């Protein structure tokens, strides 16, 4: 079954890898010609550490890459059974993508959004085939993280939900169904984690010191390394979106330190500069 991906940034490329590794032909597009052109080389680079360790052969890598076809436009994605959108976290952009897509797909095809914080119901509003749409939220980096949150809206067709679950579970992921509430489960629970770290930063602690403490306390990544991995822009968009959906409750306070980071372009890994990136604190060695 053909899987299609819209948006070849951090998430879209990782999700393309997940399905290509599972043996599916993957069609993918991006509005940026540079992102389209660089996608095969970026995907190949993801495999370099495994090849260097002897955990994967060049032949296996080539077989996975051969399943990925980069296309120029959204109508080229028409043969797909499942289309996953991973474009910028903006309601108007996501709605425009799905409205260009919906009439081109087979009647039983499924459209999924990888949104972290927008309402799936709001994305579906205005579509002529809202019953085919659901949330399918992968985590970063998609090939590594086991969890995928599956979020139907009130009008999602049961067969669309079943198809998305079956295809995603077959890649080895753990799929957990969530209500279409802002932030689903994980991003909701993660807000205070980031928020308290940003509050401590404003009180004079450094990101490196806070991350080092959290690592030594057993967390696998500190809050600032995680913001750098996710992207400060994506983190800000998710926090603002939750704050607005939750009536600006103080739990979702948007800290100036995060806004300033985005204004400076210090977005983390993708900008090669972040709160702690490239000098990420490392976990202390296990005894
Ligand atoms: P990104 O900024 O790395 O990539 C977004 C890509 O979408 C870019 O390559 C851009 O050129 C492309 N794009 C923008 N508008 C487009 C359009 N109209 N048509 C086609 N392509 C378009 O963003 P990232 O981090 O991959 O996030 C994508 C989505 O995934 C967002 O909704 C985000 O909230 C969500 N997400 C992000 C996570 C993260 O850790 N970064 C984790 C889970 C979900």
CA 129 to chain centre: 24
**Residue-level length of the chain:** 287
Q: Which helix (H) or strand (E) holds 249?
A: none
- CA 247-252-257 angle, to 5 degrees, is 130
Residue 99 Cβ < 6 Å to ligand 1: no
Instruction: With cut-offs at 50, 70 and 90, classify the pLDDT of residue 115.
Output: very high
Is a pLDDT exceeding 80 seen at residue 282? Answer: no
Domains, the chain, ordered by start: 3-177 (3.40.50.720), 190-271 (1.10.1040.50)
116 ligand 1 Cβ < 6 A: yes
Ligand 1 near 127 CB (within 6 A): no
Choosing from 10, 38, 72, 136 the residue with most ligand 1 atoms within 8 A of its CB, the one to mutate for a pocket test is 10
43-97 pLDDT, tens digit each: 999 999 999 999 999 999 999 999 999 999 999 999 999 999 999 999 999 999 9
* CA 263, chain centre distance (Å): 22
Q: Kindly provide the ipTM of the predicted complex, given to two decimals.
A: 0.99
242 lines ligand 1 (CB under 6 A): no
Which whole number is the average pLDDT over 229-258?
93
Is-contact 156 133, C-beta < 8 A?
Answer: yes
Residue 113 CA, closest ligand 1 atom number: 32
Q: Calculate the average pLDDT of the chain.
A: 95
| Cβ contact 96:121 at 8 Å | no
Output the CA torsion 97→76→153→10 (10° steps): -70
CA gap 122, 2 in Å, rounded: 27
Rounded distance between C-alpha atoms, residue 10 and residue 107, angstroms:
30
Residue 233 alpha carbon, nearest atom of ligand 1: 2
Q: Is 130 in the pocket of ligand 1 (CB under 6 A)?
A: no
What pTM was estimated for this model as a whole? Answer: 0.92
Is-contact 254 260, C-beta < 8 A?
no
d(CA 241, CA 183): 9
* Ligand 1 and 35: CB distance under 6 A: yes
Distance from residue 30's CA to the centre of ligand 1 (Å): 9
The answer for residues whose C-beta is within 8 angstroms of residue 164's C-beta and 6 or more apart is: 82, 110, 112, 134, 136, 150
247 touches 192 (CB < 8 A): no
Spatial contact of 76 and 27, defined as CB atoms under 8 Å apart: yes
Task: Provide mean pLDDT across the span 143-166.
Answer: 98
Query: Rounded CA gap, 189 and 192, in Å?
Result: 7
Q: How far is the CA of 284 from the centre of ligand 1 (A)?
A: 33
Query: Ligand 1 within 6 A of 85 CB?
Result: no
Of 194, 202, 237, give the one whose Cα is nearest residue 90. 237
- From CA 72, how far away is CA 30, in angstroms rounded? 7
pLDDT digits (tens, 9 = 90+) for 95-114: 999 999 999 999 999 999 99
Pairing of strands 147-152, 110-113: unpaired
CA of 234 to the centre of ligand 1 (A): 8
Active-site residues, by number, are: 116, 137, 149, 187
DSSP 178: -
> Which residue's alpha carbon is nearest to atom 28 within ligand 1?
86
Are residues 176 and 203 in contact, defined by beta-carbon separation less than 8 angstroms?
Answer: no
Q: Is the dihedral of CA 206, 261, 219, 270 positive or negative?
A: negative
Place of tokens 């509050």: 199
Chain position carrying tokens 């030594």: 216
Residue closest via CA to ligand 1's atom 14 equals: 87
Distance 114 CA to ligand 1 centre (A): 8
3-class secondary structure, 33:
helix
How does residue 279 score in pLDDT terms, banded at 50, 70 and 90? confident
Query: Distance, CA 286 to ligand 1 centroid (Å)?
Result: 36
Question: Based on the number of CB atoms within 10 Å of its own CB, is 109 exposed (0-12), middle (13-18) or buried (19 or more)?
Answer: buried
């Amino acid at each position: 079954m053909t899987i299609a991906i819209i948006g070849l940034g951090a998430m879209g490329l990782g999700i393309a890898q997940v399905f290509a590794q599972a043996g599916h032909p993957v069609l993918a597009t991006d509005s940026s010609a540079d992102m389209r052109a660089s996608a095969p080389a970026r995907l190949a680079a993801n495999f370099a550490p495994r090849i260097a360790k002897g955990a994967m052969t060049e032949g296996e890598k080539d077989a996975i890459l051969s399943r990925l076809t980069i296309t120029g436009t959204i109508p080229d994605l028409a043969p797909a059974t499942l289309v996953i959108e991973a474009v910028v976290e903006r309601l108007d952009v996501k709605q425009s993508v799905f409205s260009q897509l919906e009439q081109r797909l087979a009647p039983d095809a499924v459209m999924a959004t990888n949104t972290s914080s927008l309402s799936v119901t709001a994305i579906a509003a205005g579509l002529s085939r809202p019953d085919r749409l659901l949330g399918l939220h992968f985590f970063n980096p998609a090939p590594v993280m086991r969890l995928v949150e599956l979020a139907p809206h009130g009008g999602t067709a049961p067969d669309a939900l079943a198809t998305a679950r079956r295809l995603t579970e077959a890649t080895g992921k753990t799929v957990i169904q969530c209500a279409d509430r802002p932030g689903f489960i994980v991003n909701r629970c993660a807000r205070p984690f980031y928020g308290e770290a940003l509050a401590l930063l404003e009180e004079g602690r450094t990101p490196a010191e806070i991350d080092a403490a959290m690592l030594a306390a057993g967390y696998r990544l500190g809050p600032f390394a995680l913001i750098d991995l996710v992207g400060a822009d994506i983190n800000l968009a998710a926090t603002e979106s939750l704050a607005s959906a939750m009536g600006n409750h103080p739990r979702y306070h948007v800290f100036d330190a995060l806004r300033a980071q985005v204004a400076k372009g210090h977005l983390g890994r993708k900008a090669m500069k972040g709160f702690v990136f490239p000098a990420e604190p490392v976990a202390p060695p296990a005894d």
